Structure 1
Amino acid sequence: MRSERTHAVGRPAKQLRSRSFCRSGQEEEEETFSRKRMNSFDREGGHCTEMAMVCLTDFEEYAKEHLSKATWDYYAAGADDCCTRDDNLLAFKRIRLRPRILRDVSVSDTRTTVQGMEISFPVGVAPTAFHCLAWHEGEVATARAAESVNTCYITSTYSTCSVEEIAAAAPGGYRWFQLYVYRDRKLSELIVQRVESLGYKALVLTVDVPYTGKRRNDIRNQFKLPPHLKVKNFEGMFQQETGAPEEYGIPANTLDPSISWKDVSWLQSITRLPVIIKGILTKEDAELAVEHGVQGVIVSNHGGRQLDGGPASIDALSEIVDAVQGRIEVYVDGGIRTGSDVLKALALGARCVFIGRPVVWGLAYKGEEGVREVLQILNDEFRLSMTLSGCRNVGEINRNLIQVSKL
C-alpha cells in the first residue's frame, strides 16, 4: 500500500444515512446522522460542523446509536458475564512498548505476506456473520473494501450474501473461507467444493463452537434474522419441517459437537487448499495442530462469545508462538482497536491480526467506504506506531519491543 492516503483519516464525516435491516423485520430503515456528531457550531458561519471519524471508537459509537438494539446487542455480545470479551481489550492496554530512538524511519513499509500472498498491511478482516444487518449490501461491501486496500477477507459461513455473490463483487480480492464441520459431512464437502471453484485461497476451520455460547442479551431479545434475510450459503440445502428447532433459519442440530482431530485430517483429504485452525488458545493444541499438518492457526476466543473466563487472545499468543517454533504461521484476533495493538501483536509473534466488530461498525457507518476507512485508519495508526518504535518495516518488529516486566 502506498504511504499516502486515498481518504484522509481526520476528514469530516459526511451527513449520510445509515441503513439497518433489523427493525422488527422491517425493510430498510433510514435514520439521519446522529446529533452527537453534529454538536459543534460555527459561530461566524452560523452553521453546524461535523466531528471527524478519527479512530475506531468513533465508528463504534455511531453504530451503537444507529443500529437497532437487537442488532447492536448481537454484534456486541459476549458469553455470560462478558469477562473474556472485555479482557480482550484490557489485555492490550496492559502491554507496554520499548521504543528505540535515532533510527532512520523516513521511509516505512507496512507490507507483509500471509500464506505466501502479499497484503498491504498486517490487518485482515475476521469472519463475522450477518453483515446485511448493518448495511444493505452486507458482505459484498466488505469484500470490496478489503479488495480496495489489498488485504485478506475471511468470509463467514453465516454470510447474508452467498460465496458466489462475494466472489463476483470483488474478483481480485484475496479471500479465505471460514468453515464449520457439520453432522452431515456431505454438507461441509459441498461448501468446500464451491469455495475452491470460486478461487478462495484457504479454509479456516473454526473449532471452538461445539455448542453456541450463552449470550444473554440475544436470549432476552429473542434474536433472529428478519424474514427478508437468509444465511445465503445454505439456501436450498435443508428441508426444514415446520416448527422444528432452528438457529438463524438453519436446523438447530446442524453443527457436530463430536468434531475431533480426525476431522482435521478428513478435511485435508477433501481439499487442495491450506487449512488454518481458528480457536487455538493453548500450546498443547498448537502442537497438535502442527502435528496434523495445518498451515496456520488463529489464536482466538471467538470475540469472547463462547467460553467466558478463558484467556484474552493476546495473552495466549506468546505461548502458542513458542510452541509452533516458526513451523506454521500464527495469527490472532480479538480486542484489536488501535495501530499500537497491531504492533504489540506482531511483536509477540503474530504474522497478522484480524478484526471483526470494527468492520461491522464501518459497515453501519457508510458501507464499503466505512469499512475502507476503518482499515485505512488502522493502517495509518500501525505505520505511525511502528515508526515511533524505531521500526521501518514488519521484519524489524520483534519481542525486544515489549516490556517483559509488564506482561
Structure 2
Amino acid sequence: MIGRQVQQAIYLKGLLGERPRVPVRPEGLEEAAKRRMSPEAFAYVAGGAGVEWTMAENREAFRRLRLLPKMLRGAKPPALDVRLFGRTWQAPLFLAPIGVLELAHPLAELAAARAAAKRGLPFMVSNQASYPLERVVEAAKAANPEAAVFFQLYHSTDPEVVKSFLRRAEAAGCSGVVLTLDTVQLGWRPRDLDLGHLPFLKGQGLAIYLTDPAFLKALDEPLEGPAFRPRPTPALLKNLLALRRAGRRFGLSLSRMQKAVRRFVATYSYPELSWDDVARLREATSLPLILKGVLRPEDAAQGVALGVDGIYVSNHGGRQVDGSLAALHALPQVVQAVGGKVPVLLDSGVRTGADVAKALALGARAVGLGRPYVYGLALAGEEGVGAVLDHALAELELTLALSGVRSLEELGPHLLAKENPPPLLGRGGA
C-alpha cells in the first residue's frame, strides 16, 4: 500500500515543518528544476519540436480523458506487479530513455538506474548516455540483482557500430533492445536552436560511442564533406576545454575527441532506416526487440509480423514532429492492431499516476515516465528520481483504489469517458 505510506510520510514530516524536497505538483517540479538547471540544460530537456503543439496535445489528450470511478467494490488497493519480457516489474511503470543526463546531474544514468532498480522498475538507458552502458547496468544490478535495464538504440549509418552496440547490450545483461524509429535525424527544436546548443558537440552524451571498439577503430577513416575550421573565439576555446575534459574521462586526447564528435555527427542520422533493418536487427540479437515511436496501427502490425517482442507508442515527447498525433490518441488503435500478441508500451505527456492509470485503461501494459524524472534528478540526484517515482506510484495506486479497481486485469476502456458531458439545459439545468 505504497500510496498511503508515501502520503502519510509527507504529512507527518509536515508536522515537523518539512516540505518535500522534490515538489509533488508536476508544474512545481518543472519550475524548481528550471531554477536549478542551466538555461541550455533546461531547454534541451524541456523543449520540443516547432512551436510545441504536440507537447501540448500530449498533455491535452490526458486532460480530456475522464476516469469513471465505480463505488462500493469492497476491495483493497490492487497489486501493481506485472510480468513483461520474462521479468516481474513491481509496477507497470518504467523510466523512459532520455539522453545526456549529465546536463541534469553528474551521476546521470547511474543515479536514475539505481533509483528505478531499488523500486523494482526498469530503466531504459539511452543510446546517448553520459556513462558507458556497462556501468549503468552494473549500477542497477548493485542496487537490485534482479534489475531490468533496456538499451535504447539509435541506428546509425555505421553497421559495425550497431553490431557492436548489440553485442555489448547482450554481454552487459540488458533485458531488451528498444529501437527508436522516430529519430533518424534530429527534429526542429527552436529552444536549442535559439541558444545554439547541441550537447554532443561538446562531447556530452557520447559515452557509449567513446567506449565502443568499433566506433573508436573507425575514427581515422575519412569522412565525406569539408572539415570544420572555425575562427577562434572565446566561446570556442571554452567549448574546446569542455571537450578536452570530456575526453579525459575516456582516455582520449583532444584531437581524438574532435574526430569522435565529427564522426558521430556524420554517422548519427539514418533517414534510410527501413523494415529491412528491423528484420536484420531481429536476426542479429537474441534479446527482446521493442519498436519505439509507433503511432500507426499498420506499423504496429508490421512489426509484430516481423517478430518483434513489443510495440512502444510514442511521439518522442513532442520532440520530433510538431503537429503529430498525441501518443495517447494513437494508443487504442495500436492496441487493437497488435491484438494481444505482444505488449504495448506508451510514453509522451505522462506526468502523474492518474495519467498512468488512463493509459493502462486504454490497453498499455506499461507506461514510461520521462521529463519528470529528469527534473527530480536535477533537484536531488538519485533521491530526486526516487521521489518522483514514489509520487507516481502512490498516485497510481490511490487512483486505482479510489476508482474501484481490484486488479490491473480489471482495467479497460469501460473506466473512461471522453471529456465531461455537456450541462443539462432547460428545466432543472443551470
Report the TM-score, using the length of structure 2 for normalisation.
0.82
Give the C-alpha shift of residue 4 in structure 1.
Answer: 6.6
Counterpart selection for 2:340 from 326, 337, 343: 326
Distance (Å, rounded) in 1 between the aligned partners of 2:287 and 2:420 = 40
The amino acid of 1:233's aligned partner reads I
Counterpart selection for 1:389 from 395, 400, 403: 403
Equivalences for residues 117-128 of structure 1 within 5 A: 117-128=87-98
Matched, 1:73 2:87: no
Stretches of structure 2 lacking an aligned partner (at least 5 in a row): 230-257, 422-430
CA pair 341-330 structure 1, distance change in 2 beyond 3 A: same
Give the C-alpha shift of residue 399 in structure 1.
Answer: 1.3
Matched, 1:108 2:108: no
**What is the alpha-carbon root mean square deviation over aligned residues?**
2.7
Matched, 1:292 2:306: yes
Structure showing the higher helix proportion among its residues: 2
Counterpart selection for 2:270 from 256, 276, 279: 256
Give the C-alpha shift of residue 107 in structure 1.
Answer: 4.3
Give the C-alpha shift of residue 8 in structure 1.
Answer: 5.9
Match for residue 195 of structure 2? Answer: 221
Match for residue 62 of structure 2? Answer: 92
Contact 1:105 1:392 in 2 (8 A): yes
Secondary structure, counterpart of 2:293 in structure 1? strand
The amino acid of 1:243's aligned partner reads F
Q: Which moved more, 1:56-65 or 1:85-94?
A: 56-65
CA pair 170-260 structure 1, distance change in 2 beyond 3 A: same
Give the C-alpha shift of residue 77 in structure 1.
Answer: 1.1
Match for residue 189 of structure 1? Answer: 163
The amino acid of 1:89's aligned partner reads R
Give the C-alpha shift of residue 6 in structure 1.
Answer: 7.1
Contact 2:347 2:369 in 1 (8 A): yes
Residues paired across the two proteins, number: 376
Contact 1:298 1:332 in 2 (8 A): yes
The amino acid of 1:335's aligned partner reads G
Match for residue 27 of structure 2? Answer: 57
Give the C-alpha shift of residue 97 in structure 1.
Answer: 1.3
Distance (Å, rounded) in 1 between the aligned partners of 2:271 and 2:285 = 22
Give the C-alpha shift of residue 293 in structure 1.
Answer: 1.1
Deviations 1:235-267 (A, max 9, x none): 052527863899976223433211100111100
Match for residue 28 of structure 1? Answer: none
Secondary structure, counterpart of 1:252 in structure 2? helix
Counterpart selection for 2:151 from 177, 200, 205: 177
Match for residue 355 of structure 1? Answer: 369
Secondary structure, counterpart of 2:155 in structure 1? coil
Secondary structure, counterpart of 2:116 in structure 1? helix
Contact 1:55 1:377 in 2 (8 A): no
The amino acid of 2:160's aligned partner reads K
Identical-pair percentage: 34
Counterpart selection for 1:317 from 331, 340, 357: 331
Secondary structure, counterpart of 2:273 in structure 1? coil
Give the C-alpha shift of residue 284 in structure 1.
Answer: 1.2
Distance (Å, rounded) in 1 between the aligned partners of 2:312 and 2:355 = 16
Secondary structure, counterpart of 1:353 in structure 2? strand
Contact 1:9 1:373 in 2 (8 A): no
Contact 1:331 1:354 in 2 (8 A): yes
Matched, 1:243 2:213: no
CA pair 332-310 structure 1, distance change in 2 beyond 3 A: same
Matched, 1:369 2:380: no
Distance (Å, rounded) in 2 between the aligned partners of 1:82 and 1:12 = 39
CA pair 103-49 structure 1, distance change in 2 beyond 3 A: closer
